[in-house]
Chain A
Amino acid sequence: DAMVIQNPRYQVTQFGKPVTLSCSQTLNHNVMYWYQQKSSQAPKLLFHYYDKDFNNEADTPDNFQSRRPNTSFCFLDIRSPGLGDAAMYLCATSRDKAGEGETQYFGPGTRLLVL
């Protein structure tokens, strides 16, 4: 029944060592989102895909990249993780535009630890 799957649930990486987080969905939704959530804070949108169209938030660091090779999968690449990148990373999907009333479906998140 899993609809939005994130792997791994916990990821430990070293300072400066590239890391990739993955997200897959079984909902066939058009839109996929990546959020960063730090402790006791609201999720912060990093970028989203509307189908194949990539939309980067203005304040997302260049260190963060994303790929969506097909409808089902989306990846978050952190090229050179810093200590400040330690956070929970949430993937979400929506059938159409969330800002027009569509529900977002979230995965369980990947908690990233940077040593």
Chain B
Amino acid sequence: AQSVTQLDSQVPVFEEAPVELRCNYSSSVSVYLFWYVQYPNQGLQLLLKYLSGSTLVESINGFEAEFNKSQTSFHLRKPSVHISDTAEYFCAVPGYSSASKIIFGSGTRLSIRP
């Protein structure tokens, strides 16, 4: 069975500081990994995903995540956060019972202090 763990429920950081949101997964099959972001009072939207190839994937707004097979991790990082990055971030992996679905982690709330 596949599962995903987000170790931090909340991460407070100061504006312009670096941030890392942690995600670990367990999987015995091919791995696809996703980070979705949910801004206040909105639906989720894809931030970035790993399918194959380069283990480092980047988003258009400065976030990046690295697929680490040996540590079964897919941590999300940004070198300098902005107030507008305030949101809930969900890591996700494919569902084990159906290829049509993905399983979300419990989420990490990123709060930015000015």
Contacts and interface: CB of A to CB of B under 8 A. Distances in A.
A90 B38 CA distance: 12
Contacts, number: 63
Contact of B42 (A55, A101, A105, A108): A108
Given A100-B99, A108-B43, A42 B94 contact: no
Interface residues of A, number: 26
Given A42-B90, A43-B44, A99 B102 contact: yes
Interface string B18-44: 000000000000001000100001111
B87 to A, nearest CB: 13
Interface of B: 32, 36, 41-46, 49, 51, 90, 94-95, 98-102, 104-107, 109
Interface of A: 4, 31, 33, 40-43, 45, 48, 50, 55, 90, 92, 94, 97-101, 103-109
Contact of B100 (A31, A42, A108): A31
